[in-house]
A and B are shown apart, each in its own frame.
Chain A
Amino acid sequence: MKSRALVAACVLTVAALWAGVVIAANADGSGDPTAAKNQDGKYYDKQGTPTYSIKPDGTVDWYTYSGYRRYSSECLRCHGPDGAGSSYAPDLTNSLKTVSYTDFLGVVAGGKKDVNTANDLVMPSFGVDRNVMCYIDDIYIYLRARADGALGRGRPAKHEEKPTAAQKWENSCMGPA
């Protein structure tokens, strides 16, 4: 039940965002990534799309850091270290230059197939995978920073404290330990 509810919630989110977002042509697939708002330690651009915040000394926001960890656990196995692509799956630091937040959510939740004579690329649907969907914004924010060139390869050296809101969301989404 819980899994199904999660998919439903995700599809709703995607639908709602489809209706509301105007995609700008600059910066990356979701427009200008500059953080315009900080809500409980999570940053949003002026369109309301989740984004990163990186201080001059390299300190990243919690979600960028968390996204690095979750990416490395859930996505690296196909897309390679640091979103940089592999012999098996595309370079996401390139893909996210044109893929918008909403399209990103749609592909991760629903999967993608490109099977023909030249390709056998198949991405599974992660819509029922809590290890991915509970952290989907984190992963997006991390990859957005990588695609924009705002964040280099490897583990971010310094990060902001884990916000209470992030812990609350994690507990409600992942279920009891």
Chain B
Amino acid sequence: MRCMSLTIGTLVGAVAVLVGGFSYAQDDLAKMSQNPNQWVMPAKNYANTRYSQLKQINTSNVGKLQVAWTFSTGVLRGHEGAPLVVGDVMYLSTPFPNIVYALDLSHDGKILWKYEPKQDPSVIPVMCCDTVNRGVAYADGKIFLHQADDKLVALDAKTGKEVWTAVNGDPKRGQTGTSAPLVVKDKVLVGTSGGEFGVQCSLAAYDINSGKLAWRAYSEGPDDQILVDPEKTTQFGKPVGQNSSLKTWQGDQWKIGGGCTWGWISYDPELNLVYYGSGNPSTWNPTQRPGDNKWSMTIWARNPDTGVAKWVYQMTPHDEWDYDGVNEMILTDQRINGRERKLLTHFDRNGLGYTLDRATGELLVAAKYDPKVNWTSGVDMDKNSPNYGRPTVVQRYSTQAGGEDHNTTGICPAALGSKDEQPAAYSPETQLFYVPTNHVCMDYEPFRVSYTAGQPYVGATLSMYPPPGDSNMGNFIAWDNKTGKIVWSDPELFSVWSGALATAGGVVFYGTLEGYLKAVDAKTGKELYRFKTPSGIIGNVMTYQHAGKQYVAVLSGVGGWAGIGLAAGLTDPHAGLGAVGGYAALSNYTALGGQLTVFAVP
């Protein structure tokens, strides 16, 4: 008895200390993210606005920007994501082998520590479209790294020593890690890649102190696997009912159903909900997987403590084009139709910009953010319609209607979407979203494939080219999420595959695939500055202030899907023989090489 009471007493004490520690850590992180001098989470803040209040660099002096210092990562592959800045230290991660560097900002980026995990290189080819890594997360004195081999590692932020390791998935079954984790309260959330390998993907939450799995929520499967409450989880305000996912798949196909979760995660502390998107259903051949394939292609709102979904919205039921729904959810508080609302804005791969009420999941706006989008005539916004919220598919662009072994031509956008993972930014001053976009169309021919664990499970042939009459493959646009309208649009030679940064200085930054860092006027889109970095940019621009001076930083290092798809240049299969190879080849502009470039006004 005595023994037991002592144990209980000690346990209670320990729990009290831990709880105290937790609440300190989470308050700390939320507060730290409000400090403009730092950049403590992947998208600057929980709302994922990628907006900085810093304004030392502004429209009047950005033209004088110069390189302050540079850092070679020593890795050649595609560099997505952005560094973090916590205190006087910058943390950045590289593509495979996923080196993490801690750099001393007080000494021009001197290396404080370097961590290099030991991973089996056989994971490399399992990673669809390059061995990218979209950055690390910070909380409670730890750095969290999501490795290529789908391990999650917590490192001591001071020393780089491993604190714990958790195995999230198995690359031999096609599960890999590319995404940046997000810490919410005492949990670190992490998604999975593997949509082209028939993975049943999930979002998982691990305890930040122990690395123990707290919950795992699959994108498709039985209710207890997808953490959906049939009575309480809603779509369009109505409960989804029992077996909402299972009913929409043939047989056991949900077990290899995809719906991957490798995009960015956002969080609303007041509503206590996390938001993210699930990706394409596997395979790319729609005929092989009849049904709506729920809940692939879905915007999810989940309780971060339990994982249970509050609401869902499936944007592209029964995907026929690989319009992977993983892009970021940006949370803003704005006045719309005369009413203050908590909004969620999402630029989907399918070419539609969605504005929703993030408390309820009510759909407010769904509009094309590239005028060339043609696969749908629009989303049914009639609340009384049985098709409410569904996109109306234009028959001639339906690869399902065309069937297997039929080449459906001229579909816009292409499978890489009007926008891929490259995140947009939002400025509360202009109330505009700054969106890096792709301007590419495709032919799509689905055909029969068979599933083998750990092997690609694709089932379609694609060819891609700019929309008829255009030669630019990208645009950088400003978007009004209240009206669903493009405010301005800057054409770019290649797809814009770099995350945007908006600042209180009235300047918006982004990178280009040729390697330019560009600064434009937030109001007009007018170019104010450009500098050609050593390699193409697929990283996200960030900013911080150190010792009283504002810096802008970006990773160069061409690669990712952009490097694969555009390296040799696109060809238009319908342009006749003479025009083949007529579009710019990225390999004529840039070559591999990971480098951080840090800018300042001298």
Contact = CB atoms under 8 A, between A and B. Distances in A.
B580 interface: yes
B567 interface: yes
Contact of B559 (A3, A87, A152, A175): A87
Given A77-B458, A87-B567, A155 B124 contact: no
Contacts of B76: 120
A81 B464 contact: yes
Interface in B87-141: 96-97, 121-122, 124-126, 128-131
Contacts of A14: none
Interface string B563-574: 111011011110
Interface stretch (B62-70, B207-215, B351-359, B442-450): B442-450
B580 A154 contact: yes
Nearest to A155: B573
A131 B450 contact: yes
Contacts of B126: 124
A153 B571 contact: yes
B568 A86 contact: yes
B577 interface: yes
Interface residues of A, number: 41
Chain B interface residue bracket vs A? 35 or more
A124 B565 contact: no
B77 interface: yes
B601 interface: no
B456 A77 contact: yes
A130 interface: yes
Contact of B458 (A74, A80, A128, A175): A74
Contacts, number: 127
Given A69-B445, A84-B567, A128-B452, A153 B559 contact: no
Given A81-B570, A155-B443, A120 B565 contact: no
A5 interface: no
Interface in B127-179: 128-131
B77 A88 contact: yes
B128 A177 contact: no
B455 A126 contact: yes
Contact of B462 (A72, A78, A91, A124): A72
Contacts of A85: 567-568, 587
A100 to B, nearest CB: 22
A9 interface: no
A81 B463 contact: yes
Contact of A73 (B129, B458, B464): B458
Contacts of A131: 449-450, 452, 455-459
A109 B92 CA distance: 37
Interface string A54-89: 000000000000001110111011101110111111
A18 to B, nearest CB: 25
A152 B448 CA distance: 26
Given A80-B565, A86-B564, A153-B571, A3 B577 contact: no
Most B CB within 10 A of own CB, among A72, A81, A87, A123 = A87
B558 interface: yes
A77 to B, nearest CB: 6
Contact of B571 (A76, A82, A124): A82
A110 to B, nearest CB: 12
Most B CB within 10 A of own CB, among A129, A130, A154 = A154
Interface string A109-149: 00101010000111110101111100000000000000000
Given A69-B447, A128-B455, A86 B125 contact: no
Contacts of A132: 455
B454 to A, nearest CB: 8
A75 to B, nearest CB: 9
A128 B454 CA distance: 10
A81 B559 CA distance: 15
A15 interface: no
B19 to A, nearest CB: 44
Given A73-B460, A129-B452, A155-B463, A81 B565 contact: yes
B558 A154 contact: no
Given A80-B564, A88-B563, A153-B581, A73 B461 contact: yes
Given A68-B461, A77-B129, A177-B448, 12 more contacts: A73-B449, A73-B461, A74-B458, A87-B559, A88-B564, A111-B125, A129-B452, A130-B452, A132-B455, A153-B580, A155-B443, A174-B448
25 contacts: A68-B461, A70-B461, A72-B461, A72-B462, A77-B128, A77-B129, A78-B125, A81-B464, A81-B571, A85-B568, A86-B565, A87-B130, A88-B77, A88-B78, A88-B130, A120-B97, A124-B126, A124-B455, A128-B455, A129-B456, A131-B450, A131-B455, A174-B448, A175-B450, A177-B448
